[in-house]
Structure 1
Amino acid sequence: MTNDLTLIIGANSEIAKALASVICDEGQLIVISRDVSFYQHETFKSVMCLSVPDYSEAAIAEAASQVLGEMKDSVIRRVFVCHGVLHNDACFPERKLEDLSADSFTQIMASNAITPLLWLKYLVPLVRSKHSCIFTFFSARVGSIGDNYLGGWYSYRASKAALNMLLKSAAIELARRAKNVKLISFHPGTTDSPLSKPFAKNVPSAKLFTPHFVAEKLLEIVKNSSVNGELSYVDWQGKHIPW
């Protein structure tokens, strides 16, 4: 007898919090973040919280080891990697080439592409089994090369395109080595969150989604996804996005 286990990584994002709120009573849930204060509430009394000091490779490896120690009779069936940096105190999306900074580019690339792949690296050994496991990574439509008609946002676009390519390569490898694993690269749409706040004023109200709405749509996509050895690059409607 096994219990289904869900992991939410980068669990302090607004969509991650909404996901946890929806599924906290559905089975075993582990949330991983640098800040887990949101989960110190009666609602999440059954949720295990893992706090990490940072998202270095050493910290990710240690967190994966802790997850392994907590699994016991559980099987990881869903993993949501909710990392994503669009702007912070030191970085903001570039409007022109002159805005490009090597330091900012490196920081955005590390957060949006390298860190998610490191989670995959250390978690795949934990999910190899006869049971299917679906990994969802938060990408963005602006990471699409074919859908780029506006330009700009050099670092963010490049980091999400890089994430998609990394996951595409991983999906090809895992189709041979871990046939029970499915990868999804997910575009949540423009969500009412700190990440999108500087740009929300230009978004029609009907296209500015609540985190709960996005969480529900994502869970539906995961539920209806088949483990086919391929990477799916989809939006919140489940529609495929051109690479």
Structure 2
Amino acid sequence: MINNINNANAFIVGSSQGIGLGFVRKLLQYDNFAKIYATYRSHESASELIALASQHPDQLVCLPLDITKESQISQCIECIEKSVDKLHLVINCVGLLHENPLQPEKSLRQINADNLMRYFQVNSIGAVLLAKHLLPLFRHSDRSIFASISAKIGSIGDNRLGGWYGYRASKAALNMFMRTVAIEYGRKSPQTVVVTLHPGTTDTRLSQPFQKNVPAEKLFSVEQTVAQLLAVIEKLDEDDSGQFFSWDGSSLPW
């Protein structure tokens, strides 16, 4: 789908490292992407992304963005609108599992209201605010994709182990937000396919503290994850909007 659009424009949210940076690197290899917009939260952690932009000054544009602040989301998208009038591929790669002192909860004793709010701000609310402000850039006649990186652990139907309350619930909320966005986009931007994607366990800073029990064949490199997810994206059609897919293209339960 995306390969067939000439002069396509992409927007990768959360690109300073991990899967987001991997998507930027991969899309720069495509011949048909005219512009790739990529966001980072802090300049200090985005050195690789900024170096890429210096190597591809006509194609890659880096933009600062804290996804928990709607004013910054609005300003970022207004900046994009000054140079292009449409987007064809948006991938929201922002996600939070742990940060000092926040860690996944193992029991109810560890539940903390501030930590829960932090999970929801980053993993859930930011995505639906993106959907709100991105709509004008999706309202065109070309097929387009709006994908958010979710996690299988956010599946309510698949939850058999418990724990990780904030992360599970915030990813489940992300799935519901995007399902609801897909319904509204279906009326207002019917060429846009809205999906959530489970990348599998990827060898990034997010998963690093929790890789010990992951079999080697189930721990993907960033490059492998990006290739697998792009393969899923490439096969999407309008009937897939509002769905939740795994890295292998299989549909996941809510």
Which category describes the TM-score, using the shorter chain as reference length? over 0.9
Indicate whether 1:148 and 2:159 are aligned.
Answer: yes
Q: Is the 8 A contact 1:137 1:185 kept in 2?
A: yes
Matched residue, 2:150? 139
Structure 1 letter corresponding to 2:37: I
Structure 1 letter corresponding to 2:74: A
Structure 2 letter corresponding to 1:65: E
> Which of 189, 197, 205 is residue 178 of structure 1 equivalent to?
189
Which SS does the other structure have where 1:108 is aligned? helix
Q: Is the 8 A contact 1:172 1:229 kept in 2?
A: no
Structure 1's 125 and 47: CA in aligned 2 closer, same or farther, altered over 3 A? same
Shift of 1:25: 3.6
Structure 1's 53 and 155: CA in aligned 2 closer, same or farther, altered over 3 A? closer
5+ residue gaps, structure 1 = none
Shift of 1:126: 1.2
Q: CA RMSD in A?
A: 1.6
Structure 1's 179 and 54: CA in aligned 2 closer, same or farther, altered over 3 A? closer
Matched residue, 1:61? 74
Shift of 1:38: 1.7
Shift of 1:229: 6.8
5+ residue gaps, structure 2 = none
Residue pairs, 1:16-35, within 5 angstroms: 16-26=20-30, 27=33, 28-35=35-42
Shift of 1:13: 3.3
**TM-score normalised over the length of structure 2:** 0.90
Question: Sequence identity of aligned pairs in percent?
Answer: 33
> Which of 7, 10, 20 is residue 11 of structure 2 equivalent to?
7
Larger deviation: 205-214 or 28-37? 28-37
Q: Is the 8 A contact 2:179 2:242 kept in 1?
A: yes
Matched residue, 2:62? 49
**TM-score normalised over the length of structure 1:** 0.94
Distance in 1 between residues matched to 2:248 and 2:55, nearest whole Å: 29
Structure 1's 229 and 216: CA in aligned 2 closer, same or farther, altered over 3 A? closer
Indicate whether 1:40 and 2:47 are aligned.
Answer: no
Distance in 1 between residues matched to 2:166 and 2:55, nearest whole Å: 38
1:171-196, CA deviations, whole angstroms, 9 ceiling, x for partnerless residues?
11111111011111011011101100
Distance in 1 between residues matched to 2:19 and 2:162, nearest whole Å: 27
Distance in 2 between residues matched to 1:111 and 1:185, nearest whole Å: 15
Matched residue, 1:128? 139
1:203-225, CA deviations, whole angstroms, 9 ceiling, x for partnerless residues?
11110000100000111111110
Matched residue, 2:128? 117
Shift of 1:53: 5.6
Which SS does the other structure have where 1:40 is aligned? helix
Distance in 2 between residues matched to 1:223 and 1:54, nearest whole Å: 26
